[in-house]
Structure 1
Amino acid sequence: MSLDYRRLGSTGTRVSELCFGTWRFGRETDGVVETTKSEAHELLDAFVERGGNFIDTANVYGTPSGRSERWIGDWLAGRDRSEVVLASKVYFGFDPDNPNGSGLSRTHVRNQIEGTLDRLGTDYLDLYYIHRWDEETPIEETLSTLDRLVEEGKVNYLGASTMAAWQLTKALWKSEVHEWERFEVTQPLFHAGYYEDVSEYLDVCGDQGLAVCPYSPLAGGFLTGKYERADPDDPERVIAPDGSRGSMDDQFGDYYLSERGWQVLDAVREVADEVDAAPAQVALRWLMDYPDATVIPIVGARTTGQLDENLGAADVQLSVGQWDRIYEARYDGEGRRWGHRD
């Protein structure tokens, strides 16, 4: 496969139609590193070789925090920096002993951008997200600080991850009033089984021409089709492969297991059979074909084989009817949306 490129929202920058997420790089779970440095570099090589140029990380990815950025920086040192569109984030606590070591204050943002650039071995970020909304810092302080980073050439574009529609609207309005750089990209939780929950947010993005880069586009692996329902009367009973997220993470059920989820997965599987593709590829293509905004899903992978499967979504074609069928699987025969635990 070879990835095509899309404009990053209303900006002039073009990015691959799938973004590669690196939150597993250097992350330790029960003392085991999920993706080692050599595996990380192999995955990055494979992504670029297949036409990918959009890479997502954050200052807190890895164990300890910063390891993911550092490993990407080591890989980037042997490449042409201008060929990669690199995104990172700021908000979560980086230094637990520092009372100003988290949030979106001017102090924390300034400290973290310098650390991020140093670990990545670059003079600038293409995209800098606020990782969450900070209830304790005035949004004016955060936006004016980010605007200054753009003026200084340390950041090209700004992004916002995980917030309410009204918060995104408020931030965009403040940027317009004060003539500050605005958010051009958003990063919500969004997948085929999760739409109405973020519909107002997506409406804002579409209206304002913002790019949408969903995280967890495969519902934590649920929409890959490797999970089976164990009880037709209990949507939270699941048969999960050993080592999969469903067998490791108690929160998996809280986020993804629902009657709605199984109905959508059944529709995804049906369409996958019709187009001779994997369920994961259909679920990703469904997002990529979202009609009202530019959607660029963030995919992750433990192996190059998994990466190739995900990137294969670029070669999948869905008809309007197939796209609608997956969308409509959220509703029962009377047009009511399946609840998360109903």
Structure 2
Amino acid sequence: MKRKKMSELGEIGAIRRILRVLEPVIPEKPCLPIEDDVQAFDDCKLAVKIDGYSERMSRYPWERMSDWGWRAVTGPVSDLSAKGYKAIEMVYSLGVPKDEDIRRIEELVFGIREALKSYGVQFLGGDLNSSSGEIWIDVAIVGKLISTSPVPRSGAKPGDKVYTTLVNGYGKPGLLYKLYQTASWKNASPRLLRFRPSAVTSFPKIISAISVSSAIDSSDGLAKSLKLLAESSGVSIEIKKLPISNHMRAVLKKYEVGIEEATLFGGEEYEVIFTTKEPQDRVIQACNNERIKCVEIGEVLNGSGEVLYKGKKIAGIGWDHFISP
């Protein structure tokens, strides 16, 4: 294979090359495509998701350690929920520098405990390691199928409508990232900077109530998540409406952050993007029954992995551990 740096490949490109190496030991007929966000086993009744986080790359300088710990759990719970699974058990591996203050680790673990209690997930143990330079954590969570069947990100069909949940909302994560990039966060209020998103844990019930053809967690950003869904499904997607509130539009305007930029290229929203042919009133009713706001944002078209907005192709970029600054 051609020599390339990780920063040239990006996360998705690197994963695809790694999977080629592992191809001989990948199941012939997995429950979900191997590139999907979770992997299912035991006749699809169980699934597992693992996420890794390093402090330098995934914790904002103003962010409490407990909030970082909360997000470390929320990520895999969100991915499992988007596929139709309820998170049930967790293990982790934690790396800590030798000279780190144990109180910071206790605060991190306190946030993990808060998330586990909130999501009804049991802690089964973990591993503690010495690390060089920074704290890192890997979180693995097992989920059980509670929807009628798992939903891949590869099932979108032309004519499907595209929806997203609105539990945490879009715009604020993009704003926070912009404040971080420009160091403007130092002048922002603590209330604005505080953000503790929640996974949409009742989404499996929506899968059981209506026919959902594909679904994906939005934590890599709206544009990138739609790009992954379109590429996996062999279709294109046209965005017709940005899912952002009037209040957040006003906040973005105040901080001179572009509405389209913050909405499309944010990340950490932990919403669920899904596609369906069901009538809009049935979709909205299914969401309302679970006390979740859902909004139609676009349509699936014939194509080959493009995402369109205002009649033009947009870059499917979002958060990437090897490219994002």
TM-score computed with the length of structure 1 as normaliser: 0.28
Q: Which has the higher strand share?
A: 2
TM-score computed with the length of structure 2 as normaliser: 0.30
Q: Report which structure shows greater RCO (CA 8 Å, sep ≥6).
A: 2
